Amino acid sequence: MSTEKPTLAAKPGQIGIDPRGPRFGAGVTALVLLIVVALGLLTPLGPTIVERAAEPGLILLVFATVIFGWGAFAGIQRHPYGLFYKNVIRPRLSPPSHLEDPVPPTFAQGVGFVIALAGVVLHLAGIPFALVIAASAAFIAAFLNSVFGYCLGCQIYLLLVRAGILGRGGSAAA
């Protein structure tokens, strides 16, 4: 077992990402999830699965789930918010002071995907406040990332690497 502590910094020769990109995406995600929470609190839980499936909060959470899945399975470099940041916003900014390893933020998208998917499934099953609780949990993580630069999913990834549960993938190898 290596004594080297994993970090979020990109390794030499590795293609890193601008850390401001995931923070921008987290800001957009936080806004979407805040709307989901508000809609979930304002809309009563429908008595049938068809009525629950048509609720605006659920529809928006399904959208967020798809976006999380896109980032988790296609990679953070292909995430729609990240592509918008890279092509529209980043050219107007100074170069980043450092680049980050894309693996932890991609893992964080997977965590968001699981949480959002659980909220969708439990809401459709008729569990009261499942949508609000799942969206609130994901909102807290997105808010921490966008405002404070603290990526909760990235920290979970690093803890799992340190525990030896996850290994560094090929793109993150030294």
pLDDT tens track for 52-94: 999 999 999 999 999 999 999 999 989 999 899 999 999 999 9
Q: Is residue 155 part of a domain?
A: yes
Which tokens go with 45? 């839980």
Please give the tally of structural domains in the chain: 1
Q: Is residue 15 part of a domain?
A: no
pTM of the predicted model, to two decimals? 0.86
From the centroid of its chain, how far is CA 26? 7
Enclosing domain of residue 55:
20-93+101-167
What residues contact residue 12 under an 8 Å CB cut-off, 6+ apart? none
Q: Is residue 9 part of a domain?
A: no
Q: Is residue 172 part of a domain?
A: no
- Summarize pLDDT for 21-42 with one digit per residue, the tens: 999 999 999 999 999 999 999 9
To 5 degrees, how large is the angle CA 28–CA 148–CA 160?
A: 95
Measuring CA to CA, which residue among 50, 80, 76 is closest to residue 63? 80
Q: Is residue 78 part of a domain?
A: yes
Q: Is residue 59 part of a domain?
A: yes
Per-residue exposure over 64-78, b if at least 16 CB sit within 10 Å of its own CB, e if not: bbebbbbbbeebbbe
